[in-house]
Amino acid sequence: MDEFEKIRQSCASIVYRFLLSLCGNEDLAEELTSETFYQAYLHLDQFRGECKVETWLCQIAKNALYRENRRLKRTVPWEQMEDTQVEDGVLERLSDREQAASIYRHLHGLSEPYKEVFLLRVLGSLKFKEIGDIFGRTETWAKVTFYRAKDKLVERMEEES
């Protein structure tokens, strides 16, 4: 087994969970994980070893997601072209969506690394050690950063209400 295949096997789940935490779509995360390793293979000579390979791969993954989001902004989703019917419980779903939008709005306002650490932990279900590894930091740093992010988020939401 060659060196790149070993890297792919050891890091694929980290990259997938990282992407899943950012996009929230399992299919897209899986597709972008493949794209990440494809790009990494093409540009393996550009890895200088100044950071962990997981960090390098996650940066490639984030760039792949940004490219995909830019591509999607140029297209109109099929759902918007179809007539939609009002379903039962629309007010409840609207309320949930409004609350989710509020949370995401406040989360978006957080500075880095708080926002990314929070997303990796909550949406990506990554362990603090894995988050620390991605940032080249310790597990304790990841815990402290996550709890500070959570406190800031709660504080901002309380100010709004």
**Domain residue spans of the chain:** 1-76, 92-161
CA distance 120 to 98: 22
Q: What is the mean pLDDT of the chain?
A: 80
Split at pLDDT 50, 70, 90, the class of 14 is very high
**Range name among 25-39, 65-79, 91-105, 127-141 with the lowest pLDDT average:** 91-105
Note the pLDDT of residue 85. 43
Split at pLDDT 50, 70, 90, the class of 90 is very low
Note the pLDDT of residue 79. 52
Pair of tokens at residue 50: 């100044």
Note the pLDDT of residue 74. 64
Sequence-distant contacts of 77-80: CB under 8 A, at least 24 apart: none
pLDDT at 20 over 70: yes
Q: Which CATH architecture has domain 92-161?
A: Orthogonal Bundle (1.10)
Give domain 1-76's CATH number out of 1.10.580.10, 1.10.1740.10, 1.10.760.10, 3.90.1420.10. 1.10.1740.10
pTM as predicted: 0.48
Q: Is 119 exposed, middle or buried (0-12, 13-18, 19+ CB in 10 A)?
A: buried
More confident residue, 79 or 140: 140
Angstrom CA distances, 63 to 123, 124, 141, 150, 159, stand at: 19, 17, 24, 26, 34
